[in-house]
Structure 1
Amino acid sequence: MAKYMLVLAAAAAASSALVAVPAAADWREELGSYNIGLLGGENEADRLRRYQCLDDLLTERLGVPVELFPASDYAGVMQGLVAGQLHMASLGASGYAGIHLQDPDAVEPVFTTAQVDGSLGYYSVMIVRADSGIESLEDMQGRSLAYADPNSTSGYLVPRNELAAQGIEDAYFSRTGFGGGHEQAIVAVLNGQYDAGVTWISGQGERAEGYTRGNLRRMVDNGLLDMDDVRIVWQSSIIPNGPIVVRKDLPQEAREIVVDLYGTMHETHPECFAEVAGGEAAGFEPIDHSFYEQTIEMRRREIAQSR
């Protein structure tokens, strides 16, 4: 709770320093609606269903309509935040890095999700069909691989960089491509369109349930996956959990309302917290820009190498 109060105080101070805050009576009229971007990687209907409780809570507390915007890819949410069309989103570390490198004054991270044991990381994994005969990364030579999205941390940036560090470039595979999101990449593997796909897991909890959190957990919960049908053939080192970011020019009172809700949601609205967190977790943990500095440098190198 002490950490949460510090974040609330910092949010108020940052807002006062960065923007001319509208008078209390008119910021709602000026804001119009509070717009939340929802990353791709899960089908639109399930994304909207999971976030409906957050829509209801914030509509009541903010006193303005809340609009949910499920983008077809990560870039849509990122550009919406940079352009000021969105006020908040839950991002991956690479997505935040991409925004920061484009416009460091656009957004800032305020929370990340703590796993059930309190840790703040997760893993990228390479998934194959259990009946594929592929038992290891070595067996993937000459086979096809689906990345999730070019702006995904676990679905592109980290696996590509960690595999390259092992001497495995894209040419190792018969072909690589993008599935269009985490869920879509794994569906493509299940349908035989790719031999393997990369996605994310918490690495905690029961394997049969898709672990406590992650794309596999969501797919199991939504009836799209039986874990007996897949095998993990590669796992990354630990990756920092992605941030919940808000626009830096958000009115101070709106900012405080959002921070207050997220800081206490796991206790005051546990069912909604589980939906927004995408599974089992310990709460939203206050963080700041420094938590993502290594990912920002990794993304900076990736951009430089692509030129």
Structure 2
Amino acid sequence: MTLTAAIIGATALTSTAALAQAADWREEVPVFRIGILGGENEADRLREHSCQQAYLEERLGVPVELYPASDYAGVMQGLLAGQLEFAGLGSSGYAGISLQNPDAVEPLYTTMQIDGSLGYYAVMYTRADSGITSLEEMEGHSLAFADPNSTSGYLVPSYELAAEEGLVLEAFFSETGFGGGHEQAVIAVLNGQYDAGVTWTSGVGDINEGYSRGNLRSMVDKGMLDMSEIQIIWRSNLITNGPRVIRSDLPQELKDLVMGAMMQLQVADRDCFDAINDGESMGYWPINHEFYEPIINMRRELQGDR
């Protein structure tokens, strides 16, 4: 046998083995299912994520399906039950899954803000014409949280208002409730159903545009909000940006393919990257479980208090 023939033969065997290996994981995972957090307009979320669906289908070689949930818990339970392979979560959602089953999912990466930070802020807002201009003036008024599994829309505000501001929420506010999502809570405040709400924002960039990214920016971009309609009266400490997670029991080759593809997204399709990240950001950054331990401890403590 000549050297050339040997090389060709070895290459053929390697290629055959690689194809067999690739076929193996695709037989195990014939469809890649992505969970989309609820609490916002479902049609908008499906439209925003359709580019990611097409992008991953091309790179994974299997159909990709999008599953929007009616609330945060729907995505969390889908991952825990093995009905979803991949999802973007808030830090509190990841903490909730980790506390139920530490081996269920792995965090792959998070989003880096335009200032290079890996965090964002919870903010409390009121209608600009409400006459309420500070947290102190919220005493005796009503507050809309976004979702019980939202980091910025519930976990961090409720924790920091109690632990750092010294408030007993049930006594300080006349009423607290859940708006059914970040967008819905803003609309409820604008419509006078609540005096204030909490949501998330990068806290960097032009405030008149709703900052660089976050729920306020998303609503401004959609024409649902003019920042002159609201005022921000309280801001949290920096919160870790939420992770994109993948089920831990999936084949490692699939995890590597997803990670590689998504880390290239801002270069391969910048418009798609911005669409699925609610505004402008610098890129993705690899993270691990330890990055979220402060939020996990916070959620554990609140669960213990309840």
1:94 aligned residue: 92
The range that moved more, 207-216 or 259-268, is 259-268
Q: 1:244-255, aligned counterparts within 5 Å?
A: 244-255=244-255
Per-residue displacement from partner, 1:239-272 (whole Å, max 9, x unpaired)? 0111111111122222121101111111221111
Distance in 1 of aligned mates of 2:134 and 2:196: 11
1:5 aligned residue: none
Distance in 2 of aligned mates of 1:251 and 1:93: 24
**1:147 and 2:145 matched:** yes
Q: 1:106-117, aligned counterparts within 5 Å?
A: 106-117=104-115
Q: How far 1:24 moved relative to its partner?
A: 2.5
**Largest Rg, 1 or 2:** 2
Distance in 2 of aligned mates of 1:60 and 1:79: 28
Distance in 2 of aligned mates of 1:108 and 1:28: 20
1:8 aligned residue: none
**SS, match of residue 151 in structure 1:** coil
**TM-score, normalised by the number of residues in structure 1:** 0.91
| Mapped contact 1:88–1:246 kept (Cα < 8 A) | yes
| Mapped contact 1:110–1:288 kept (Cα < 8 A) | yes
1:210 aligned residue: 210
Unaligned runs of 5+ in 1: 1-21
Q: Please, which of 116, 119, 124 is the counterpart of residue 122 of structure 2?
A: 124
Distance in 2 of aligned mates of 1:41 and 1:282: 25
**1:268 and 2:261 matched:** no
Distance in 2 of aligned mates of 1:282 and 1:261: 17
Distance in 2 of aligned mates of 1:266 and 1:117: 16
Per-residue displacement from partner, 1:274-300 (whole Å, max 9, x unpaired)? 111111001010000010011000000
Distance in 1 of aligned mates of 2:213 and 2:298: 24
Q: Please, which of 71, 74, 90 is the counterpart of residue 73 of structure 1?
A: 71
Distance in 2 of aligned mates of 1:189 and 1:295: 27
Q: How far 1:111 moved relative to its partner?
A: 0.2
| Mapped contact 1:265–1:273 kept (Cα < 8 A) | yes
1:9 aligned residue: none
Per-residue displacement from partner, 1:16-63 (whole Å, max 9, x unpaired)? xxxxxx943232132121010111132101101110100001111111
1:291 aligned residue: 291
Per-residue displacement from partner, 1:114-173 (whole Å, max 9, x unpaired)? 001111010000010001111111110000000000101000010001000211122200
Distance in 2 of aligned mates of 1:250 and 1:115: 29
Structure 2 letter corresponding to 1:87 = E
1:219 aligned residue: 219
**TM-score, normalised by the number of residues in structure 2:** 0.91
Distance in 1 of aligned mates of 2:43 and 2:143: 27
Q: Please, which of 23, 34, 39 is the counterpart of residue 32 of structure 2?
A: 34
Distance in 2 of aligned mates of 1:23 and 1:267: 29
CA-atom RMSD, angstroms? 1.0
**1:169 and 2:160 matched:** no
Q: How far 1:190 moved relative to its partner?
A: 0.6
Unaligned runs of 5+ in 2: 1-19
**SS, match of residue 118 in structure 1:** coil
Taking only the aligned residue pairs, the percentage that are identical comes to 64
| Mapped contact 1:160–1:169 kept (Cα < 8 A) | no
Structure 1 letter corresponding to 2:166 = G
Segments of 4+ moved more than 3 angstroms: none
Distance in 2 of aligned mates of 1:267 and 1:65: 23
Distance in 2 of aligned mates of 1:33 and 1:169: 47
1:305 aligned residue: 305
**SS, match of residue 264 in structure 2:** helix
Distance in 2 of aligned mates of 1:25 and 1:250: 14
The range that moved more, 167-176 or 145-154, is 167-176
